[in-house]
Amino acid sequence: MAATSRLNVGCVADDFTGATDVAGIFAKSGMKTTVMIGAPPDRQDVDADAIVVALKTRTIEPAEAVRQSLHAFDWLRRRGALRFYFKYCSTFDSTGRRGEVAGNQSTRYRQRDCTWGSMGHRTDLRGADLACAEVRKFWRQRLLHRRLEQNLMAATPSEETKTRDQIARAGKSIFERGLTFGSTGNISVKLSDGRMLMTPTNASLGNLDPARLSLFSAEGAHVEGDKPTKEAFLHQCMYCARPHGRAVVHLHSTYSVAVSILKGVDENDVLPPLTAYYVMRVGRLPLVRYFRPGDPKLAQAVQEAATDTNAVLMANHGPVIAGNSLEEAQYATEELEETAKLFLMLHGRELRPLTPEQKNDLLNGI
């Protein structure tokens, strides 16, 4: 079979998100680019300047990951590609697969008239800094054309990639400041196309892997990533009640949970307006009676309670808060926890909360 004469660049990615990110960079460079899902059949030809093969090799056995990756690279080579890239994410790299694929592939193609490089995704570096470092390395090795280098330098990560990193950073911040512990709590963000990213089950917010977050379709079906938390329905119900919300944070934060256990609180608005910032960031806090975690009735109760407020406190469980951004939801959750702490510190003493007029003045100014 004759090779496709115009093909110049071939890339294999270890997941679909990475594949589309790279394909966007190639396309922005003016290259006719095709993304193929899975290793293509040997008889298939594609008319393109660049081909990106999207595999799903992050979580399979290393030997099989290497086999599938090398098969895809060989297919690209037979199509005439002379420049190769391997796009891997942090999960793939941490399990050793990246090193095995890169070692096998670079050895194989350095014996031929081709060039080879890899593109990593790491959350411990700022995206732009990492991209520039990768570009400089590739340019020194003569792996990039100047036009492609310029476009890589200017490229920005996709919304999904940025959101994954944002969730990981927020989780780490929340965990390190003692607002959650173990594998408790979860975070979600709704993307502009209606899909939703959420922290998975049995995952510590302090050690989230962006590549393994649970991804839901716009219709609410789990389509990618690790198994979702059993509390996913809480997030989905909050988005139903707050259609303009873009993020939801649910924690088992100590002082908020303590307040949810107290007898005699106002179930329509659990905490008094102790500070201006509590009023502006949380507002009203209704209490939802106790249901077993995972009970569908809890979802219905939360949705009904959240129709006119962004924050709900579940009895003997914890808060769930929606925001127009992840930052807004996180800050509101933290403000609630500090106010709950103040309330418990002052419990049994005569309080001087904000007056109804002062509270309304703050709410009207938001």
Catalytically annotated residues: 231, 277
Burial of residue 273 (CB within 10 Å: 0-12, 13-18, 19+) is buried
Task: For residue 250, give the 3-state DSSP assignment.
Answer: strand
d(CA 350, CA 151) in angstroms, rounded, equals 64
CA 317 to chain centre: 25
Residues in contact with 30: Cβ distance below 8 Å, sequence separation at least 6, in sequence order: 147
324: tokens are: 């127009």
For residues 72 and 53, the answer to whether their CB atoms sit within 8 Å is yes
Helical ranges in the chain per DSSP H = 16-28, 62-78, 90-94, 97-109, 127-140, 146-154, 159-176, 232-241, 254-261, 276-281, 296-305, 326-345, 356-365
Residues in contact with 285: Cβ distance below 8 Å, sequence separation at least 6, in sequence order: 269, 270, 271, 309, 311, 312, 313, 319, 336
105: tokens are: 């592939």
For residues 87 and 55, the answer to whether their CB atoms sit within 8 Å is no
d(CA 162, CA 156) in angstroms, rounded, equals 9
For residues 50 and 9, the answer to whether their CB atoms sit within 8 Å is yes
146: tokens are: 């100047």
Residues in contact with 85: Cβ distance below 8 Å, sequence separation at least 6, in sequence order: 9, 10, 11, 12, 22, 116, 117, 118, 119, 143
